[in-house]
Amino acid sequence: MSIQEVTLPSLDSGRELDHVSQSLVLLSESFSRYGNEFAVVSSFGSESVVLLHLVSQVAKNIPVLFLDTGKLFGETKRYRDTLIERLGLQKVITITPESEQVKSEDPHGILWNENHNRCCFIRKVVPFREALIPYKAWASGRKRYQTLERSSLPSVQEEDGKVKVNPLAGWTKEQIDQYIETHRLPQHPLVADGFKSIGCMTCTDLPTNDQDDRSGRWAGSEKTECGIHLSLSENIRLMNQN
């Protein structure tokens, strides 16, 4: 399989499409090309509403995969329910880790404190990769401004034999905030408490760096990604070095 960067059409006026229109075109083209083999992945976190609102404008029945690790904030799951109703999302699929593996490897629920990478692997990476099997392409809400590792993120990429679409890759933080305000979209309840990036309860703190929204994730460690956006070989490497 090979994928080339999608060439976005220009408006009749000859000017480039604005960032919102580009994202809508990319989502629409992806859904048109892959149909039921295209899904969107969402954490229902602090900025997730932007991508989900765009998805709802393209097709409300696009599958949205949501990982419930068993360690999420209750606010996150309630926010998921709020957005499902508000945006009319018709196919939100909740993914959970394999219970026997969790019982075997994390019987006391403290693996996160002993091995971040292994905890993410069994609670996120394994169930996520299993859930992706029916799909040829999937979209995420990653942005270049979020981390150094994401600074060169393309709009479309190929990894592990699947096409990954990043409709918000080129958006700025200001554009994200403006979109939420313009469309009067509900925000994650924890945003009001100062949280900028929201994952599992055990590994999410208030940001330690005002210039880095994700600095509250896995605070005190070098970890910056949960693993679902990394190759299988990279996940294994990280676990072995822990």
What residues are annotated to the active site?
A: 226
CA dihedral 146, 164, 19, 204 (to 10 degrees): -30
Which residue ranges make up the annotated binding site for [4Fe-4S] cluster? 119-120, 200, 203
Q: In sequence order, what DSSP letters do the residues of 58-95 get, joined into one string?
A: H-TTS-EEEE--S-B-HHHHHHHHHHHHHHT---EEEE
d(CA 37, CA 133): 9
The residue written with tokens 């399989």 in the block is 1
E strand segments, the chain? 38-41, 64-67, 92-95, 137-139, 156-159, 162-165
Which residue ranges make up the annotated binding site? 119-120, 200, 203
Residue 90 is encoded by which pair of tokens?
């018709």
CB contact at 8 A, 190 and 176:
no
Give, as one character, the DSSP assignment of residue 127.
Answer: H
